[in-house]
């Protein structure tokens, strides 16, 4: 059931928005400084009394977790993950090779699926290595930029390296290249 709002006389329905005027004197605005503090959604363990842990211990645990693990721990986890990977890959190989004599078509399909997954993983690794190489070039360009501000020859060499990077990265920057060509003409002839 829909109710229609009427104007003050009660005769006809209103066509636009309705304004409700409130008396500000009846309900004064509360002051922010008088508001009670917002309660913590996670109660402090010291206040609950159960298994209270001092804040310094929690901070110490956080610092310990943020630290780089020791060399021994890294060797241990690296070896465990390598062994786990070997066990899983051997189990998958045995599964695929055992499936070929029982159901040849399905066995070869599973073998092809494993080979495809391995090829895709290799492609992903190569793409990540290429991205890391590009990041290394960007870092080199960023670090060599301050030296290029002192010498015009260094600045020209830096701009050439920057332009080569954008071409290698296949960035479509036609307006940037146009601006750069105008600036190059200014460098060789006169200041613009």
pLDDT at residue 90 is higher than 90:
yes
Q: Between 20 and 100, whose confidence is greater?
A: 100
pLDDT for 137: 86
Contact call for residues 93 and 110 (beta carbons, < 8 A): no
How far is it, in rounded angstroms, from Cα 95 to Cα 189? 73
Token pair belonging to 116? 């495809």
- The percentage of residues in the chain with a pLDDT greater than 90, rounded to a whole number, is 23
How many CB atoms within 10 Å of residue 96?
A: 19
Q: Which residue has the tokens 């804040």?
A: 55
Q: In this predicted structure, which of 9-13, 18-22, 56-60 has the lowest mean pLDDT?
A: 9-13
Specify the pTM.
0.45
Specify the 3-state DSSP secondary structure of 168.
helix
């Amino acid at each position: 059931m829909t109710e229609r709002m009427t104007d003050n006389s009660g005769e006809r329905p209103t066509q636009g928005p309705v304004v409700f005027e409130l008396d500000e004197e009846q309900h004064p605005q509360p002051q922010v400084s008088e508001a009670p503090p917002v309660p913590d959604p996670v109660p402090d363990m010291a206040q609950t009394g159960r298994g209270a842990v001092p804040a310094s211990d929690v901070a110490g645990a956080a610092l310990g977790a943020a630290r780089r693990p020791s060399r021994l721990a890294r060797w241990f986890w690296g070896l465990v993950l390598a062994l786990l990977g070997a066990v899983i890959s051997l189990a998958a190989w045995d599964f695929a090779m055992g499936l070929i004599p029982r159901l040849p078509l399905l066995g070869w399909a599973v073998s092809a699926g494993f080979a495809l997954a391995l090829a895709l993983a290799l492609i992903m690794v190569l793409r990540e290595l290429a991205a890391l190489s590009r990041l290394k070039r960007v870092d080199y360009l960023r670090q060599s930029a301050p030296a290029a501000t002192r010498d015009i020859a260094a600045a020209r060499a830096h701009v050439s390296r920057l332009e080569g990077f954008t071409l290698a990265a296949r960035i479509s920057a036609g307006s940037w290249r146009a601006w750069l060509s105008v600036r190059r003409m200014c460098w060789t002839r006169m200041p613009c």
